[in-house]
Structure 1
């Protein structure tokens, strides 16, 4: 029992879950969307649960769009209310945005929607109850599987950060090398130009019998 409690405590610390609750006022269609950003690794499962108050036809048109920073669009829905569940697998390691746009249908009124967003990624997004029933696992075994998957995700994140740091370091070294070479070319060009000017002025003064 103590082991299970400890595992639950560990999971509560490292599980990737984002939950937000906010009010979104209805405005003109030109207003900038309200976006929530999170980061996801390539191949990682993401589940976005959205709940909105109100109803369709209440004078405001609520829409959402889920896309990442490299151009992949995962879901787009216009004029919705109530509960929406979106599950997708990330195509790339990148930040993704869940953007909301609430358009006022009738001018002169002030309307808003209450929105609740839950974002689960990785092992937190999996249906562990279904896995437990399908594989007939004990509760402790389920918790161990969760910890194992979370550990693998953390290791994957560290490897990604290491590879990214190496790419940035290589880019930085390449840039420094190019700047250094360019500086050498500039210095050599200035020296050559100065020598040519001196030689030209010397020949000019000699032709004029000044020297």
Structure 2
């Protein structure tokens, strides 16, 4: 029961949508403004973006969606108004949603106001369509949402556990190598000290000092 209660609480917090509102000043050179979110491989991602202004108003707003391993999902140029982008993550990594606002008129200080919502996993699914197709009651629909959110949380915990194990193995391997390297240095220094003592003894004997 405690696990179920914790899962429901986490599911409620996970339902929060990443909603952002910001202004992007226009520039004559490329200057990216990026928002980063973590995604899992095979996870559905829906990006809802709204910007004021219009095409041809002296500004060119460009959208780039890529992840940290080099996959590029979208490259939309000169956008305005409502833009919706749906994609499936190709790797478990961080996803970057980047915008740039290029000025088309010299000497004019302009900007675009942008609203950005990022939905991932079960949040990005069309639950109204699912409810209609499967003929689910409201309580059944909520239970389905909680079930999928719980599965996502469990998968993320497994990923974090595996990542912690990999980092621990790397740390232990590094510590073992450092220990072996330190022992090697001690042995080399000891051998060098013995060699120097023997050399000095032979030298002093040759000079009849000892």
SS at match of 1:79: strand
Distance 1:201 1:132, change over 3 A: same
Deviations 1:42-75 (A, max 9, x none): 1111100111111111001100101111111111
Give the C-alpha shift of residue 178 in structure 1: 0.7
Q: Which residue of 2 aligns with 1:5?
A: none
Q: Does 1:204 align with 2:203?
A: yes
SS at match of 2:204: helix
Q: Which residue of 1 aligns with 2:22?
A: 22
Q: Distance in 2 between matches of 1:81 and 1:33?
A: 17
Q: Distance in 1 between matches of 2:155 and 2:10?
A: 18
Q: Which residue of 2 aligns with 1:118?
A: 117
Q: Distance in 2 between matches of 1:117 and 1:98?
A: 10
SS at match of 1:117: strand
Q: Distance in 2 between matches of 1:149 and 1:82?
A: 32
Q: Which residue of 1 aligns with 2:5?
A: none
Q: Distance in 1 between matches of 2:194 and 2:172?
A: 33
Q: Which residue of 2 aligns with 1:162?
A: 161
Deviations 1:4-39 (A, max 9, x none): xxxx99754321521111111111224x31111111
Q: Which residue of 1 aligns with 2:96?
A: 97
Deviations 1:81-111 (A, max 9, x none): 1111111111111111111100111111111
Q: What aligned pairs does 1:140-179 form with structure 2 within 5 A after superposition?
A: 140-179=139-178
Q: Which residue of 1 aligns with 2:86?
A: 87
TM-score, normalised to structure 1's length? 0.92
Give the C-alpha shift of residue 41 in structure 1: 1.3
SS at match of 2:174: helix
Q: Distance in 2 between matches of 1:111 and 1:208?
A: 88
- Tell me, yes or no, if the aligned pair for 1:16 and 1:122 is still in contact at 8 Å: no
The two structures, once aligned, show a CA RMSD in angstroms of 1.6
Q: Which residue of 2 aligns with 1:38?
A: 37
Q: Which moved more, 1:178-187 or 1:70-79?
A: 70-79
- Tell me, yes or no, if the aligned pair for 2:11 and 2:150 is still in contact at 8 Å: no
Q: Give the paired residue count.
A: 203
Q: Distance in 1 between matches of 2:37 and 2:66?
A: 11
Q: Which residue of 2 aligns with 1:183?
A: 182
Which blocks of at least 5 consecutive residues in structure 1 are unaligned?
Answer: 1-7
Q: Distance in 2 between matches of 1:128 and 1:94?
A: 26
Give the C-alpha shift of residue 207 in structure 1: 2.1
Q: Distance in 2 between matches of 1:25 and 1:18?
A: 22
Give the C-alpha shift of residue 159 in structure 1: 0.6
Q: Distance in 2 between matches of 1:37 and 1:16?
A: 16
Q: Distance in 2 between matches of 1:207 and 1:13?
A: 84
